[in-house]
Amino acid sequence: MMNGKMKESFKSKKSHGWNLNLYRNKKKGYFGGVCAGLADHFDVDAWVVRLFTFGGFLFLGSFVVIAYIALWWFLDVRPKGEDGYEYEYDEHQQSYRPKKMFKYADSANSRLRRAKEKLDDATRRVTEIERHVTSKKFDLDREFSKLRD
């Protein structure tokens, strides 16, 4: 009785993505869809997970193969029909989006591009401040402020 209940609970959790939207993605996957499913879950490109898997295989050998096979068994294929995602409300975009492990609404590439723009803007402002501080006008303004004091 207890074993049947545990088996049913396992199947239920597996079919619901372990309540983490954690599924195999056979559409984007090459061999079972495990790496593509993990990439969907962590909101990264699939090639990144494949690269880490290959690197892990080079350094850890059969452990990665066993882990891959275990994930293949523990993760169910994403349900067909609907897209299979659980949705959550994103305050930043004021809309619903698929629930991800990380709370970022934008892709990693757009976040990196936005960070680069901010860094470029900060560099531009520092350059302007440096240009002003090293100018003759700054020296003149400083001398006038000394006269007023």
Indicate if 96 and 139 belong to the same structural domain: no
Instruction: Encode pLDDT of 117-127 as tens digits.
Output: 999 999 999 99
Q: CA-based Rg of the chain, rounded to a whole angstrom? A: 26
**Which of these, 38, 63, 66, lies nearest to 50 by C-alpha position?**
38
Indicate if 69 and 136 belong to the same structural domain: no
Q: What per-residue confidence (pLDDT) applies to 71?
A: 87
Query: Would the pLDDT of 96 be above 60?
Result: yes
Question: What is the tally of structural domains in the chain?
Answer: 2
Query: Would the pLDDT of 58 be above 50?
Result: yes
Indicate if 86 and 114 belong to the same structural domain: no
Q: What is the mean pLDDT of residues 104-128?
A: 86
Indicate if 10 and 69 belong to the same structural domain: yes
Q: What per-residue confidence (pLDDT) applies to 44?
A: 80
Range of the domain at 137: 106-149
DSSP state at residue 24: B
What is the 3-state secondary structure of 51-94?
A: HHHHHHHHHHCHHHHHHHHHHHHHCCECCCCCCCCCEEEECCCC
Indicate if 90 and 37 belong to the same structural domain: yes
**Which of these, 70, 82, 68, 83, lies nearest to 29 by C-alpha position?**
68
Query: Would the pLDDT of 104 be above 70?
Result: no
Q: How confident is the model at residue 80 (pLDDT cuts 50, 70, 90)?
A: low
Q: Who has greater pLDDT, 121 or 105?
A: 121
Q: How confident is the model at residue 139 (pLDDT cuts 50, 70, 90)?
A: confident
Indicate if 37 and 79 belong to the same structural domain: yes
Which class for 142: exposed (0-12), middle (13-18), buried (19 or more C-beta within 10 A)? exposed
